[in-house]
């Protein structure tokens, strides 16, 4: 299963939709948004793309009431998890949160194959040693809005545990 991982869209709906459309064209079946969505209108264009979306809070919460209404109207297509999300996707355990320090701590537990975060606006892919003697993948897609850094998102192939940082033109 391929997953589109995005973060820090900061109300840039057009850029978020462009990243998700590119990911869908590359075979992504689901979207994980690691926070700082801001408003419901940021997520609204994703409804037309038809991929399930899992989103978490960031430090810029925006309008949670409007987001809740959009989630209800999406008929299950968009799930807003709150501070973090514990997901089973493509036979893998995946955790999503906004803050890198939370993600690092969760990755160290060994309970997840992949841990995703945002906040820093710096795209990164790393393997994190775990307390169980294994490793977990720690992913930060950067900022899809291109704020203070290039506009990036991440394509995750969960079957192969291969990850690619992608740039919007």
DSSP string, the chain: -EEEEE---TT-HHHHHHHHHHHHHTTEEEEEE-S---SHHHHTTHHHHT--EEE---S----HHHHHHHHHHTTTSEEE-SSEEEEEETTEEEEEES-HHHHHHHHHTT--SEEE--SS---EEEEEE-TTSSEEEEEE--BTT-SSS-BEEEEEETTTTEEEEEE--
- pLDDT (0 to 100) of residue 101: 98
The string of pLDDT tens digits covering residues 106-129 is: 999 999 999 999 999 999 999 999
pLDDT at 61 over 90: no
Q: Where are the domains of the chain?
A: 2-167
Query: Which pLDDT value is given to residue 71?
Result: 97
Interval 11-49: pLDDT, tens? 999 999 999 999 999 999 999 999 999 999 999 999 999
Contacts of range 99-103, beta carbons closer than 8 Å, 24 or more positions apart: 99/59, 100/140, 103/138, 103/140
Q: In this predicted structure, what is the pLDDT of residue 98?
A: 98
What pLDDT, on a 0 to 100 scale, did the predictor assign at position 136? 98
Question: How much of the chain, in percent, has pLDDT values that exceed 70?
Answer: 100
What's the pLDDT band for 159 if we cut at 50, 70, 90?
very high
Name the CATH architecture for the domain at 2-167: 4-Layer Sandwich (3.60)
pLDDT of residue 30: 98
pLDDT tens digit string along 69-97?
A: 999 999 999 999 999 999 999 999 999 99
């Amino acid at each position: 299963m391929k997953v589109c991982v995005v973060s820090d869209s900061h109300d840039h709906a057009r850029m978020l939709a462009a990243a998700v459309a590119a990911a869908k064209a590359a075979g992504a079946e689901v979207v994980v948004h690691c926070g700082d969505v801001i408003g419901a209108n940021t997520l609204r264009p994703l409804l037309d793309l038809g991929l399930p979306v899992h989103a978490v809070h960031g430090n810029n919460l925006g309008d949670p009431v409007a987001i809740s209404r959009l989630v209800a109207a999406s008929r299950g297509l968009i799930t807003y998890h709150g501070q973090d999300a514990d997901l089973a996707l493509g036979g893998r355990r995946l955790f999503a949160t906004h803050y890198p320090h939370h993600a690092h701590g969760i990755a160290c537990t060994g309970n997840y194959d992949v841990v995703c975060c945002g906040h820093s606006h710096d795209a990164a892919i790393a393997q994190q040693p775990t307390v169980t003697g294994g490793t977990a993948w720690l992913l930060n897609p950067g900022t899809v809005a291109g704020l203070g850094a290039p506009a990036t998102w991440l394509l995750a192939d969960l079957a192969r545990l291969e990850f690619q940082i992608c740039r919007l033109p």
